[in-house]
Each structure stands twice: as structure tokens, then as C-alpha cells.
A and B are shown apart, each in its own frame.
Chain A
């Protein structure tokens, strides 16, 4: 028995000696070794680092967050937005990432809720240590980040169209880390009002919108202001609330005021009800609308669709447009019958952010990326060549498409209008 123990001890000692006196790396590295990724520098002894072949250590990925409405009332848009952002990251990584560093995206759900949005933000910043955030196309959750992003020096690029998310409505000062990658509500409404006045030659307007919906309000009021300032007349301004399901009384009042056009700026649920209420009330004039009157609006309304003009960010079904393939990829991947503008929203926001990150010495440095975002000039994205105005953090050179529906209820782009 004792002999067995001795034998085992000798074996262990021999193994230790062999281990400690292992041959040093060969002076010239074998080709196979050079191809293998080297371990992180901190795990290597100093001697080995100096003697090791000249291999490049893998660069840590850059982590960005994406906060979208994945389960709330705007989740149909939010999921398309998230898809677009993730797809953009995939494509950017296939093209080499940000100066050789891969991009990683973590998507969280804000449920179209202010507090959920703040929770998601804190998780991304505190736990996931993201370097920047892609925001949702929703102003309500995004409005909760204006101060937080400044405290944390966290650049946020999104499609929160209400101007109050990028500039302080009281002072007019810009929120330093909030950036919008499409025209704001007022710009979009101005484009529609301009088209109605100049191209459609209309002069008498009415509005019907939800006073509780910031998106709708932020469109409707600038629309009316633009009309009044440019010689038009607003003959009726009717409203409803979230609790209302029937707008026939408002529609009747509008029909009696006999406007030539009614501007609708709510989400698609309310916009379809408003459209049907107006047509049922006998209004046969022009309906003007925000980009929410895009599909599936025409498939949801009960009355025939005619004389409907609405805003579009993209000419999505035009093969000559830069993001046609993106929309096709989304439709194929998600088995969608029609393209969604939100897909390109996510794509555009990521590209605006990545452009600044690529120019930065340290892409994870919030203040540096912020400064570079302010200098975004003529960057090609789906929407066009975007230039961000440092004074507002919103694009100052992007227009909107005006579209209508053809006889088959397919979207037909009519004109590109600069506000």
C-alpha cells in the first residue's frame, strides 16, 4: 500500500516539474497560432506579451440600447422600430462594425409608458452600461429622459417627434443629449399645410383631434397656426378625448361649418373613426392627415377612401429609393402585407448614431459622440441626407412626402415638400 502512495506522489511531483519547465514559445510563431485570437492582455504575463507574436487583441463590442414599445398601445409601431434598429446593427457589423469594433444592441420595452421608459433607461445605463440609446417614436416615454440623459451624458437618438423632447418649451434651449432623426411634428404639419394651401389651393380648414394625445396636438396646433399665418381660415376646431368612441357630434359640427379640408392627426384607431364619422356626417371634402393615415388606415375605414392626403416619411415601395430593400426585408421576415415606416425609423436612428460614433476617438464617450451628433451633415439615411441643427437637435433640411391612395387603396407618393 505504501508503495502505491509513493508511486502516486512521485507521479504528481513529476507532473509538477514537467509543468513548470515547459518549453518557452518558439521564437517564430506558428502560422496557426497567429490566426487564433489572443487572450485579453490582463490575463497574460508581461513576459509573454512582449514575446508574443504581433496579434491584435479582439476589441470589446460597443453596446447600445434600444427602448421601444414592444407590448403597449403602440407596439405595432414599436416592434417594427426595434426590428429596424436591430437589422441596422446586423448590417453595420457585417460591414466591419464601428472602426473594427462590433456593435451590440439590447432592446427593452417601454410599453408606451413614461415610468416604464425611465425603468428601461436606468437598466440600460446602470446595468447594461450602454454607450448610447436608440429611442422610440413616442414622445411621452422619451420626455422622461431629457434630464437623465444630461446627468448621465447619454446620447439618445430617436423619432420622438414632439419638439418638447429635444428643446425646452419654456426657454427654447436644446436638451444636450436628445437628438431627433426626422422632422418634428410642427415641421411635418407645416409641410402638409403648405401642400394644402399651395398645391390643392384650399383655404378653409377644420381639425379634429384628441386633446389627450400629445402627438395629435403637436400636429394640429402648428397646422392651424401655419394656415392662419399664410392666409387660410380655420372654420372649426373640434376635439375628443381618450374616453370617446363616437365622434359623430363633432363630425356633424364640422360638416355644418363647411370646410374644404379636415386635418386628422391622431393614431390610426382614432383617425379611422374620425374619417368614418366625417363621411357619415356628409362631409365629402378633402381629408388631410399625419403619417398615421398610411396603411392600414385605408383597409380599416368603412367608407370609400377618396380625397385623402397624408404625410409619409419614406417612399417605401419605390425601388429607386435607398431603403426599398430594407422594407422588403422587413415584409419578408415579418410576413407583413405592407411596409412600415417604423422599420426605417429604427434603421435611420442607428445610422445617425453610428456615424457620430465612427468619427469619435472613443465611440463610448458620451460627450464626444454628442458633439459629433451635433455636427451631422448631409448624412445619407432612408429619409434623405440629414443635417442636424445644433440649435434644436432636429433635422433642418428634411422634408416630407405627400401621399394619397389609388383606386386599389395602395399608397401613391405625390410630392416631396420642404416645410
Chain B
């Protein structure tokens, strides 16, 4: 029983991981909570759905994921261009980023409502078998795929950040944007890359979350809440922390819901977030990011 709960918890945590990392990577560089990420997830869920449903012959699922990830990148860059770039040029306070990100999130959701209503859309089933029975345990096929893709993507992201020049530049800008600029790093390229990565993650998250549940305009913002908690608990701006925290939250949520009920679990989740903010504001990672918004 407990092992089954742990499996379910890790599966749920994998979903949160994708969201939390996309959220955290923008915070790493720009020091603001990009709530527009939730809107991007919803938009990508719709893009993936329509691609998978209406392109003939029906594309392979992997192609849908890649296509949506590319669309996610384009969307993220467009949001950066239209919403955030002016704030950067004007060197406006961080609160402006926060307000704009909230506005963009609401804007995307409302645009989706205008075009698609609040109706739900269901991805066609991709796997013939929804669950796999291993001994006495049941594992959802989609959860396994999400877990594998999440780990692969995060592994690739770690290599990008730690083993490449652009990764080095991202880390440098994250630590000290002014000094890195003096060292000849083009911060615009770095920021664009970061938004592209966030967009890619939103695209992949959108498809997987849409497949896992259903597609509707408030899907992303609903899931964002847990991603945000994971970011805070992990240490705002820490990718490693966000991953650990997301898995941790998935586990806590499943175990707590099983033993204490859903209502109590919501209280516990927020209590954990508040507890970290009071006792260990730097989160699990131990890296304290200033200018939290």
C-alpha cells in the first residue's frame, strides 16, 4: 500500500517538476515569478490537442510533443518581446514583471475562452493500455512516460546549464547581471534563451498535462499553483531545489490525501510553503535569491 502511494506520489511529482522548472528558470535570471507560464501551458495544451486531433494522417505522439514544444518556444519569445522587453529596457522595478506576468496569464486564459469556450477537450488515447500491473502495483502508463520525459529533459537542461557556454552565461547573468555584462556577455541573448527554455518546458508540460487530465483554458493556471509552491519550497531560482521540492510535494500530497483527506492536504501544502518562508526562506536548495516577488 505505502509503496503504491509512493509510486503515485512520484508520478504526480513528475508533473509538478516540469511546471516548477519552467517557472524557476525564469526566476533564476529575471528574479520574478512568471505566472504567465500557466497561461502558456494552457495554450500549448490546446495547440497539441488540435495538432494531434486534426492533422491527417494522425501524427505520432512524439511529433505532437516536438511540435508543441516549438510552438511553446515561439509563444514564450513573443510574450517576452511584447510584454517584458520594454520593462527590461526601462529598468522598471520587479513588481512590474510580476504584474505583467499575471496580466498575460489572465489574457491568455481569456483568449482561449473566447475561441474555445470553457468546454473540455480530450486528447485521443495514445496508449492501448492505460495502466501497467507490476506485481501487486499499478502504474499509469502516462505517468511513466511523463517521469521518463521529465528526467530526460531535466538531465539535458543540467548539461546545457553546466557544460555549455550559453549555460555558463546563464549562470553568470543569474549571479550578477551587471558584472557579466561588463565581461562581454550579451544579456539579451541569455534572456531570450531562458524564455525559449521556459517555452519548451511549457510546450511539453502542456501536452502531457492535457493528456493526463483534459484540456481547458484554466488548466495551466490551476496547475501553476503547485508549481509555484514547489519553486518556493525548492528555493526560488534553484532548478535542483525545484525538482526535489516538486517530487516531495507530489509525495506529500498523495500520502496526506490518503490518510488525512483532500481538505486537510490543501492546508498542509500551504503550511509547508509558509513554514519554509518563515524558517528557511532559501528553500531546500539553500540558495537565497533576492528580490523575491
A binds B: yes
Measured CB to CB, the residues of A under 8 A from B are 71-76, 79, 211, 238-241, 243-246, 248-250, 252-253, 256, 268-269, 272-273, 276, 279-282, 296, 299-303
With contacts A296-B122, A299-B122 taken as known, whether A246 is within 8 angstroms of B263 at the C-beta atoms is: no
Contacts A/B (CB < 8 Å), 26 sampled: A72-B118, A79-B117, A239-B262, A239-B263, A240-B257, A241-B263, A245-B213, A245-B223, A248-B11, A249-B253, A249-B254, A249-B255, A249-B257, A249-B258, A250-B257, A250-B258, A250-B262, A268-B120, A272-B122, A272-B214, A296-B122, A300-B214, A301-B122, A302-B125, A302-B211, A303-B130
Cα distance, A296 to B120, chains bound together (Å): 8
* Number of B positions contacting A (CB below 8 A): 39
* Chain A residues within an 8 Å CB radius of B131: 279-280, 282
Which residues in chain B, 239-293, are within 8 Å of chain A measured between CB atoms? Answer: 253-255, 257-258, 261-263, 265-266
Q: Which residue of A lies closest to B211 (CB)?
A: A302
The residues of A that contact B8 with a CB separation of less than 8 Å are 248-249, 252
| B120 with A272: CB separation less than 8 A | yes
B125 partner residues in chain A, CB cutoff 8 A: 302
Q: Is the CB of B120 within 8 A of A269?
A: yes
State the majority secondary structure of interface residues on B.
helix
Contacts of A71 in B (CB 8 A): 113
Nearest chain A CB to B10's CB is how many angstroms away?
Answer: 11
Complex contact A243–B118 (CB within 8 A):
no
Q: How far, in whole Å, are A76 and B213 apart by their CA atoms in the complex?
A: 19
User: B89 → chain A, closest Cβ, in Å?
Assistant: 35
Known contacts: A252-B8, A302-B130. The answer to whether A241 contacts B262 by CB under 8 A is yes
Partner of B261, one of A74, A239, A256, A276: A239
Bound: A250/B264 CA distance, A: 13
In the complex, which residues 7-52 of chain B have their Cβ closer than 8 Å to any Cβ of chain A?
A: 8, 11-12, 15
Within 8 Å of chain A (Cβ to Cβ): is B74?
no
In whole angstroms, how far apart are the Cα atoms of A79 and B222 in the complex?
24
A interface footprint on B105-122 (CB within 8 Å = 1, 0 otherwise):
000000001000111111
Interface flag for B171 (CB, 8 Å): no
Q: How far is the CA of A211 from the CA of B258 in the complex (A)?
A: 16
Top 10 A-B pairs, shortest CB-CB distance: A300-B122, A249-B257, A249-B258, A240-B262, A249-B254, A248-B8, A76-B119, A75-B118, A280-B140, A246-B12
B151 on interface, CB distance cutoff 8 Å: no
Point out the residues of chain B lying under 8 angstroms from A73, CB to CB: 118, 218
CB neighbours of B216 from chain A (8 A):
269
Residue of A nearest to B226 (CB): A245
Residues of B within 8 A of A244 (CB): 257, 262, 265-266
B138 within 8 A of A: yes
Indicate whether B5 reaches chain A with its CB closer than 8 angstroms: yes
**Complex: chain B residue closest to A240, CB-CB:** B262
Tell me if B58 counts as interface (CB < 8 A to partner A).
no
CB of A378, distance to nearest CB on chain B (Å)? 36
Instruction: Given A252-B258, A272-B214, check contact A74 B253 (CB 8 Å).
Output: no
In angstroms, Cα B1 to Cα A71, docked, is: 43
Q: Which residues of B contact A240 (CB under 8 A)?
A: 257, 262
The residue in chain B whose Cβ has the minimal distance to the Cβ of A72 is: B118
Using known A-B contacts A76-B119, A300-B122, A303-B130, determine if residue A248 contacts B266 with beta carbons closer than 8 Å: no
Q: How far is the CB of B221 from chain A (nearest CB, A)?
A: 11
CB distance from A418 to the nearest CB of B (A): 32
Q: Can you name 20 extra interface pairs (CB under 8 A) apart from A244-B266, A248-B8, A249-B8?
A: A71-B113, A75-B118, A76-B117, A245-B223, A246-B253, A249-B253, A249-B254, A249-B257, A249-B258, A252-B5, A256-B1, A268-B120, A272-B120, A272-B122, A276-B130, A280-B131, A281-B138, A296-B119, A300-B120, A302-B142
Query: How far apart are the CA atoms of A279 and B117 in the complex, in Å?
Result: 28
